[in-house]
Structures are given as C-alpha cells and as structure tokens.
Amino acid sequence: MQKKFFLSIAVIPLFVNWHSVKAQISPELYVPCQEIPYLMQQFEADEAAIYRFYSPSENAPRYRPAEGMGSPDRQNRLKELNEKYVAKLKTVQFKSLPQECKVDYLLFTRDLKENLHLINRQVTAMAELQNWFPFADSLFSLERLRRRGQPLDAPRVAANFNKVAKEVPMLITKLGAVELTPEQIRIAQEELQLLQKTANSIFQFYNGYDPAFTWWVPTSYQQADNALDRYSQAFKTKQQPNKMGIYTRSPIGREELLRLLKLEMVNYSPEELLAIAHKEMAWCQEEMQKATKEMGYGTNWKAALEKVKQSAVPPGKQPEAINKLYKESIDFLKKNDLISIPPLAEETWGMIMMSPERQKSNAFFTGGWEISVTYPTNTMDYDLAQMRMLGNNPYFSRATVHHELIAGHNLEFFMNARNRTYRNFDTPFWMEGWALYWEMLLWDKGFARTPEEKMGMLFWRKYRCARIIFQLNFHLGKWSPEQCANFLVEEVGHERANVESELNWPLSRDSQAFPLYQVSYYIGGLQFYALQREALKSGRYTLKEFHDTVLKLNAMPVEMISAILLEKPLEVNYQTKWKFYN
C-alpha cells in the first residue's frame, strides 16, 4: 500500500512538468515519426560495432572511418548488415509515413545501396591485387584469434612473420616490371597499412604477456614490419608526382560522374553543369569589370585584383584581421535580421592556426567548429609566404568569413548537433552549398560596399564557378592537372603556388576526395538560392523563417529539403527530377 502511494505522488509532478516544458518547445523540434529514425540509429550503432570489433585493436575506430581498407571479415559483415537493413526497409509502409520520414526512407535506402556498391567495388579492387599479398590471409587468421584472446602457437607466428620478411623483397623485384593505375597504387598502400596495423595488433596483445610469444616473435615481427614499410614505398614509387608535386588520381569518366550526380540528386549532366558554370562565371566577370572601372583601372581587371591583394596584413596580424571581419559579418546578419543566431554558437566558435603541412593542400582558411587561419609561417620560403599573404588579403577573407563561421559552416555544425540528430545524410551540396548560398545572399543584400570589397566577393564567386569547370573537365578526361592550374591562374587570378596547394586535395591520388566536391559549392549554392525563391513565393515562409527551418532539418540533398518544405509528392522509387537553374 505504501509503495503504491509513493508511486502515485511521484508521477504527478512529472506529468505537470512535462506539459509545462512541452508548451515551451516548438513542434518542429519533435521527431516526425519513430520507425525510420529508430532504424537509422540502430544501423549506425550496428555499423559502429562491426567497425570496432573487426578492426585491428590499436586505434580501433569508435565510428565508421572515412576511408581505408578493411579485412575480409569486416567487409563480409558490413555487406550482411547493409543487406539486412535494405530488407527491413522493404517491410515499412512507405505511403503511411509523414513527409519527413518519407525523405528519410528514400535517403537511408539510397545510402545502404551505395554502401553495398562501395563494398563490392573494394572487394573487386582487392581481388585484382591479391597476388601481391600472399601473406594477408595468414595475418588476418591470427588477428581473428587475437580478438578473443585465443592462445597462439608462438613458433608458428614467428614463422609467419619470417615468411613475410622473406617474401617482400621478391615481390618488390617483380613489382618493378608491372604497370599499375594510381588507384591500384593507393589501394595497395592502404592494404599494406592495414596489414601492418593487423600485425601490430597481434604483437602488442601477446608480447610481454605470453612468455613463449615474447621469446619467439619480436625479432621476426620487427623484420616483417620493416619489410612492409619498404613494400609500401615501392608501390608509391610506381607513380611519380607531376610538376606540381601531386600524385594525380585518374579521371573517373562521364558514366561515373552521371552516377554520382544522380546519387546526390543533381538532375543535370556534366555538360549542363559546365554550361551553367560558364554562364555564372561570365556574370562574375561583368561585375568585376564594373568594379575595376570604379577603381580607376579601366578594363584591366587583373591590375585591379592585384591592387586588392596588396592590402594583405603583415605576418602575425591575420587573427586580428579575421576577428574584425567576423564582427562586420555578424553585425550585418543581425542588422538585416536574416537568421536566428543562438548566443552559445556566437560565444563558442574558436580560432586555430593552420600548420605548414596542412597548408600544402589548403591555401586559404577553412572553417567549422573553429576557423583555421592560413598565413605564412617562419618555415616558408619568401615567395610562398608572399603568395599566402596575397591570397588571404582582407578583401578576399571578408568575402568568405561568413562562409566559414556564421551563418555558414560553424552554424551548420552547431545546429546539426542539436536538431534531427539521427539524420545526417552527409553531402557537400548541403554543407558547402549552404555556406556558398550566404555569399550570394549577402552580395544581393549589399554587403560589398566599395569596389574593393566587390572585387573580393567576386574573386571567390568566380573561383567557385571555375572549380566546377576544372573538376568536371579533369574527370571527363579533357584537362590535365597543369591545364587546371593554368586556367585558375589566367582566368581567376590566383597565385601559382596557391593554385598548386588548392589542386593537391581534389586531384591527388591519395586524398580520395569526393569527385564532385569542388562542383558542390556553387551548384549547391544555386540549389539553395532557387529553393529560397520557391519557398518565399509559396507564402509559407519569410526569409528568416526559411533559413531557420532549413538548419533544423539537418544535412541532406537540397531537393529533399524542397520536398519537405513545399510538401512535394514522393513515391517509394523516387528519382531526382528537380530543375533548379533558370
């Protein structure tokens, strides 16, 4: 009796408090349905468990890594897992789902199928190279026992490592006469990295704990590890870097570009996107000529651009300049009441200095949870330091500080961590497109006041058009990396060294950069720009409401944001159909 009485009086305040809290929470914060978010969260947890268990013990990932080879065990389990969830989704009654959950269903299904495609492609790629790794299965077998601490036959383990050390020199000799693609070289190096981690996982687990293992294995293990290092270097030297120091990837070709565009829900061909980029770049050039004339340089836009670059601050002063530019940007956003800015987001963005090593593939500052400042360091030679300063002058930086911080990447990260957290259909067309959209919007709103400020904004906008042109032409097999570099120097006005750093990431064999990443900035921006016009025309949103609502939906292809905001019809086999460019 006492127990029942205790429970009854405990429940009453909870009930009252919940209704009090509920009255203060906006309905759009609720999860729109339970079924699909539950499946997505379960999959993410299951996938993380597989990656964690089937990876070498040293530095085993808690979450799915972005790249790298996996053992056959891991690949098989991931394939089974993705097939299992594809089957689960087929049991869901699609027509009965709310609109947001229909979108989740479509995108989750898409991602599971893409995972299977990538797993199969990786398995096929390794099958082509398996003869170069005759010792792989023996190491994976030992790791399979290690995962649960099974006792190992120490002399046999030593013999296995000894065999690796002896086989590698013979394989290196054979390798010298073989032609390999850049992708095969990268995959081989990743496989060797995996094998080294696997061997180390075995060694670290037993060495010092198992007396027989500690007596038999250390010398042969060290010899095998050294041999695998030499083997990886031998694969790397199968391709020499070009004049810019880039180990260049192979173009993926038109068919794969079309597949990826469809996957990203961009309903245009590469040729159509090139036409859009050239048209937009011509507009940028026209506006740049107007600013050039205002600056007193007639039609010589390159001379005007060089004048703008000379505004670069001395070394050591860039953080101060960035803070000043941020204040101008945030004040403009608030004055025009363009978007809700959570006080904590404004309070907690940070700043770091980009290392010289990272600057090799980032000639300009980047953003996210913090802004990473690119500027000369004491280890750079004079010419490179000058180019870094010219490329990161205040007028150029002012054009993109809102891209990197608020309302761009920093606010994206902040809101993604707090809204629809089960949903993040990661796509650069959303991430970079949203940030680029703000560059477009602030141009429209008059953020650029002087001709110098206009030149800064137009330089970056023109460069984003040029990114579409060079990346698609490269992957269509029409342009070499050197042609891409020349185009950026001659038609955009980049410094040569900055161009070489910028091209290192998208064109490098080793980076595995998404082949459409450079395309995603301007095309994603155009998508958001078109969606904003549609949303405002519908009368359902003010401009600020549109911005606030988009950020609360979390990351996804912009076409699916359009489907949610404007309640566009969706079917279970929906394919991209949105034509956003006029």
pLDDT at position 1 is: 39
pTM, two decimal places = 0.91
How far is the C-alpha of 570 from the C-alpha of 437, rounded, in Å? 26
DSSP structure string for 163-191? HHHHHHHHHHHHHTT----HHHHHHHHHH
Beta-carbon contacts of 265 under 8 Å, excluding residues fewer than 6 positions away, are 429, 557, 558, 559, 560, 576, 578
Alpha-carbon Rg for the chain in angstroms: 27
* Res 460: pLDDT: 94
Q: Are 485 and 263 contacting, i.e. CB atoms less than 8 angstroms apart?
A: no
User: Which tens digits make up the pLDDT trace of 317-346?
Assistant: 998 999 999 999 999 999 999 999 999 999
Mean pLDDT of 535-551: 97
| pLDDT exceeds cutoff 50 at 223 | yes
Q: How confident is the model at residue 237 (pLDDT cuts 50, 70, 90)?
A: very high
Report d(CA 189, CA 454) in Å as an integer.
46
The pair of structure tokens assigned to 265 is 């829900």
Q: Is the pLDDT of residue 96 over 50?
A: yes
CA atoms 66, 69, 71, 72: torsion sign: positive
Listed in sequence order, the residues at least 6 apart from 268 whose beta carbon sits closer than 8 Å to its beta carbon are 261, 276, 523, 579, 581
Q: Give tens-digit pLDDT for 168-218.
A: 999 999 999 999 999 999 999 999 999 999 999 999 999 999 999 999 999
Q: What is the DSSP string of 435-448?
A: HHHHHHHHHHTT--
**Position of tokens 């001395």?**
314
| Segment among 13-27, 473-487, 491-505 with least mean pLDDT | 13-27
Express each pLDDT in 363-391 by its tens digit: 787 888 888 888 888 888 888 878 888 88
> pLDDT-based confidence at 354, cuts 50/70/90?
confident
Residue 163, phi then psi, degrees to nearest 5: -65, -40
Please state, in angstroms and rounded to a whole number, the distance separating the CA atoms of residues 439 and 384.
28
Tell me the per-residue pLDDT of 267-297, one tens digit each, with 9 for 90 and over.
999 999 999 999 999 999 999 999 999 999 9
The stretch 51-67 carries a mean pLDDT of 67
Please list, in sequence order, all residues whose beta carbon lies within 8 angstroms of the beta carbon of residue 83, skipping any fewer than 6 positions away.
Answer: 116
Indicate if the pLDDT at residue 10 is higher than 50: no
Q: In sequence order, what are the beta bridge partners of 351?
A: 371
What pLDDT, on a 0 to 100 scale, did the predictor assign at position 252?
Answer: 97
Cβ neighbours of residue 53 under 8 Å, at least 6 residues apart? Answer: 60, 147
| Structure confidence at residue 421 (pLDDT) | 93
For residue 54, give the nearest of 165, 194, 209 by alpha carbon.
Answer: 194
